[in-house]
Amino acid sequence: MNNWKYKAYRSIWSGLDLLFPPQCGGCGGLGARWCKTCQSSVKILNGIVCEICGLPQEKPGVCGACLASRPRFHSLRAWAVFEEPVQSALHKLKYRRDLSMGDAIAAAMMPFVQSLDWEIDLVVPIPLGKQRMRERGYNQVAMIAKPLAMGLGLQYLPHALARRKETRSQVGLSREERHRNVHEAFQADSGVGGKVVLVMDDVSTTGSTLSSGADALYAAGARDVYALTVARALSHHDLRRV
């Protein structure tokens, strides 16, 4: 957290906040990009989870899905449950072009990521397809991954992963359909060779996209691959137990 580049990056956004008073990404209130009320209402996924995919469960260990078909990443963790106020904050970043939310989300996630105590060399975001990149103009995952990498003092390689093919949205697809949709969807740069990589996405459901990305990173010579998302969609789980 003493990284001067990260402090400089944050100061730029703070300066812009003075010129253009922000609205909270969660509740829309004026005066802060991520207000204290929304910060306190985030449901952080720090309970008992599957050792591999990070899904909440009642007992420690590996879940049945991972025992049946192990994902390619070493471990996947998500900072929070994909519900309000995190859902609105990600929507604001992704669809309303509020790029400042990337910095705000990364700062909020930092203590959680540090608590994982993973020995990581570099951070790589899941890339958008060419068509979506043209439509949006930026990768919302990169807007979170970059300041997170700076704050953790890690190397950031935004182009280490690339899409080999355009894929349809994963929304509404079954686990099997998600896996087929992103199968061999990525290729990785040789710059990851011998490195322990943290691959990042904004939201995970089954982890299929991150597993496919990890597969490409291993093929390019990565020593190990961990996966991280801002949020985890738990629509088929009892959130009261999280």
Angle of helix 140-152 relative to helix 100-116, nearest 10 degrees, comes to 50
CA pair distance 188, 26, nearest whole angstrom:
34
Q: pLDDT tens, 156-187?
A: 999 999 988 766 566 666 666 666 666 677 99
- 144: pLDDT strictly greater than 70: yes
Helix (H, G, I), strand (E, B) or coil at 242: coil
Q: What is the pLDDT at residue 242?
A: 36
Over residues 90-105, the mean pLDDT reads 94
According to DSSP, the residues that pair with 78 across neighbouring strands are 229
Three-state SS string over 103-134 comes to: HHHHHHHHHHHHHHCCCCCEEEECCCCHHHHH
Range of the domain at 16: 4-241
Res 75 pLDDT > 80: yes
Contacts of residue 223, defined as CB under 8 A and 6 or more positions apart, other chains included, come to 194, 195, 196
With residue 188 as reference, give the H or E element that holds it. strand 186-188
Domain count, the chain: 1
Its pTM stands at 0.89
The 10s digit of each residue's pLDDT in 6-60 is 889 988 888 888 888 899 999 999 999 999 999 999 999 999 999 999 999 999 9
pLDDT of residue 2: 52
Which has more pLDDT, 200 or 184? 200
* Residue at 62: amino acid letter: V
d(CA 25, CA 30): 10
Say yes or no to pLDDT of 240 above 50.
no
The Cα 134–Cα 131 span in angstroms is 5
> Which structure tokens are listed for 84?
């309000």
User: Could you tell me which of 84, 61, 85, 112 has the C-alpha nearest to residue 229?
Assistant: 112
CA dihedral angle for residue 146, residue 44, residue 237, residue 95, rounded to 10 degrees: -40
pLDDT of residue 132: 86
* Predicted local distance difference test score (pLDDT) of residue 1: 47
* Residue listed under structure tokens 């996924």: 45
pLDDT at position 190:
92
CATH number of the domain within which 125 lies: 3.40.50
Q: What is the mean pLDDT of residues 198-214?
A: 94
